[in-house]
């Protein structure tokens, strides 16, 4: 894979050693929390000690991939059972289906393309729950690459594109692709390549949510960080080797913990305040606030490793050289031309306060996709939300979900109306043919005339 010249090749091993060293402190904090919660919970001192112990426990804990935990949804006031089913398995990704009873199969089919950017696909749990009452939802579940044996080979940007194409082939041409953040670029590349090939499984709609299509527009701190460093710097400072205790031992990765540290560093004061608030809520016994904090941070702190080659490909192509908007991106040996996309409809959604993908970065796709008619392209700026508010929370459920479903239905209905109009014409002809035999009186007149002629012919010889 990568040569062993990387300065940080042992960083992962050192982090694992640190975690093992802190394990006794975590166990002691857990025991202390139990002691003070049991015997001194009626005093403020006891609650304070229990709260402090829990904070230590959380700081020293390891947050593994959580479950989606989606077992039902509500449709028209009825609770409907939802079953998580794995439709396809590939070396680096699973295709999951949140399957409802067959009577709901008529709902719009959506493939939610989750980001491969450090967090697990479960970060989109709220996104899925918002769509389930109104759509048939599938999602890409990227596998933590530390658990993929090195014999499976590399995973590059083109592999991501090919996975999207393959999943479109599995789900059929009636699927709508919803790309959340990072996958916006590979999704557009996949659709462009499929369009060039006149692929019969081309998706009907593309929905981009806060994606870095053109990071030259309104660059954020994330964009500036990526653009300010050379690829060699990234290779030497953030790429490390998976330790021997994992299935992917020896594979070079951009580790999840470094991604997490980067996210935390962007909003240090916000995260410090959130944890100070957690301490106070624990002391005060505010269970609802404690539950809300844990629910968010248990998900946020669970991170996965990325393949080093995919990470470096993305940094270089998307954030440094801006190859897609410049028309210079190569994928699978072909130049990617977004203007070749003609049939699918395109919806771009941005958040007013997005500090990850700045305003205009996603909207750039509207201009670049010149082949799509203007009436099939739409842009929406959601007021009052940041990056996560585009696909999670109240504004997402109340504003963005209805927008997505209306967009899909409106564009799909145009195709259905065309088919219905074509189908009505032969049906009308058949109706006329069936109605003709009912005109029995007309048929009788014809018979009488024929009989009269025969009578005349027979009478003629008698006159002779």
- Enter the tokens of residue 156: 């590059």
The predicted structure's pLDDT at residue 39:
87
Q: Is 137 left (phi over 0), alpha (psi -120 to 50) or beta?
A: beta
The predicted structure's pLDDT at residue 269:
86
The predicted structure's pLDDT at residue 7:
58
Residue with tokens 């470096």: 312
Q: What is the number of alpha carbons within 13 Å of residue 256 lying toward its C-beta?
A: 21
**Dist. CA 365–CA 382, nearest whole Å:** 17
CB atoms within 10 A of CB 384: 10
The predicted structure's pLDDT at residue 384:
93
β strands within 173-271, DSSP E: 175-180, 205-209, 240-241, 252-254
Rg (CA), the chain: 31
Q: Going by CATH, does the domain composed of 72-255+305-416 fall within 3.30.565.10? A: no
**Dist. CA 453–CA 449, nearest whole Å:** 6
Mean pLDDT per 10-residue segment, the chain (464 residues): 57 88 91 91 91 91 91 95 97 97 94 93 95 97 96 96 98 95 97 96 97 95 90 92 94 91 79 89 90 86 94 96 97 96 97 94 97 96 94 94 96 51 38 44 43 42 42
**Dist. CA 181–CA 176, nearest whole Å:** 16
**Dist. CA 110–CA 114, nearest whole Å:** 12
Segment holding 107, helix H or strand E: none
The predicted structure's pLDDT at residue 294:
86
For residues 155 and 307, the answer to whether their CB atoms sit within 8 Å is: yes
The predicted structure's pLDDT at residue 461:
47
The predicted structure's pLDDT at residue 260:
84
Domain ranges of the chain: 11-60, 72-255+305-416, 418-450
**CA-to-CA dists, residue 463 to 222, 450, 456, angstroms:** 113, 21, 11
The predicted structure's pLDDT at residue 460:
45
**Dist. CA 41–CA 54, nearest whole Å:** 14
């Amino acid at each position: 894979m990568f040569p062993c010249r990387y300065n940080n090749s042992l960083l992962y091993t050192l982090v694992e050693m640190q975690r093992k060293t802190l394990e006794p402190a975590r166990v002691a904090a857990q025991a202390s929390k139990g002691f003070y919660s049991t015997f001194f919970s009626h005093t403020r001192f006891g609650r304070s000690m229990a709260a402090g112990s829990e904070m230590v426990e959380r700081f020293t804990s390891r947050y593994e991939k959580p479950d989606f935990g989606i077992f039902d949804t509500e449709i028209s006031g009825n609770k409907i059972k939802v079953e998580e089913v794995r439709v396809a398995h590939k070396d680096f990704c699973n295709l999951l289906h949140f399957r409802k009873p067959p009577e709901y199969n008529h709902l719009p089919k959506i493939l939610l393309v989750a980001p491969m950017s450090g967090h697990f696909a479960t970060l989109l749990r709220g996104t899925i729950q918002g769509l389930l009452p109104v759509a048939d939802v599938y999602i890409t579940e990227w596998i933590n690459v530390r658990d993929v044996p090195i014999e499976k080979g590399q995973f590059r940007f083109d592999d991501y594109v090919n996975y999207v194409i393959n999943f479109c082939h599995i789900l059929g041409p009636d699927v709508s692709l919803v790309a959340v953040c990072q996958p916006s670029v590979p999704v557009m590349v996949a659709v462009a390549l499929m369009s060039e090939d006149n692929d019969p499984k081309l998706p009907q709609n593309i929905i981009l949510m806060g994606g870095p299509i053109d990071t030259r527009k309104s660059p954020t701190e994330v964009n500036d960080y990526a653009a300010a460093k050379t690829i060699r710097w990234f290779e030497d400072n953030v790429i490390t080797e998976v330790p021997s205790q994992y299935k992917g031992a020896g594979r070079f990765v951009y580790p999840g913990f470094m991604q997490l540290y980067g996210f935390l560093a962007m909003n240090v004061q916000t995260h410090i305040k959130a944890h100070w608030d957690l301490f106070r809520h624990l002391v005060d016994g505010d269970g609802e606030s404690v539950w809300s904090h844990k629910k968010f941070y248990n998900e946020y702190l669970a991170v996965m490793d990325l393949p080093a080659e995919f990470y470096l490909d993305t940094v270089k192509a998307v954030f440094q050289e801006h190859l897609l908007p410049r028309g210079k991106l190569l994928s699978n040996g072909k130049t990617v031309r977004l203007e070749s996309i003609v049939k699918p409809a395109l919806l771009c959604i941005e958040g007013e306060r997005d500090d990850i993908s700045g305003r205009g970065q996603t909207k750039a796709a509207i201009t670049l996709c010149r082949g799509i008619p203007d009436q099939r392209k739409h842009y929406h700026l959601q007021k009052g939300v940041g990056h996560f508010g585009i696909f999670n929370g109240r504004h997402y459920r109340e504003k963005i979900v209805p927008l997505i479903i209306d967009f899909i239905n409106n564009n799909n209905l145009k195709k259905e109306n065309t088919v219905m109009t074509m189908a009505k014409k032969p049906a009308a002809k058949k109706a006329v043919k069936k109605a003709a035999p009912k005109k029995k009186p007309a048929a009788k007149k014809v018979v009488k005339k024929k009989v009269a002629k025969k009578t005349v012919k027979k009478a003629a010889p008698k006159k002779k």
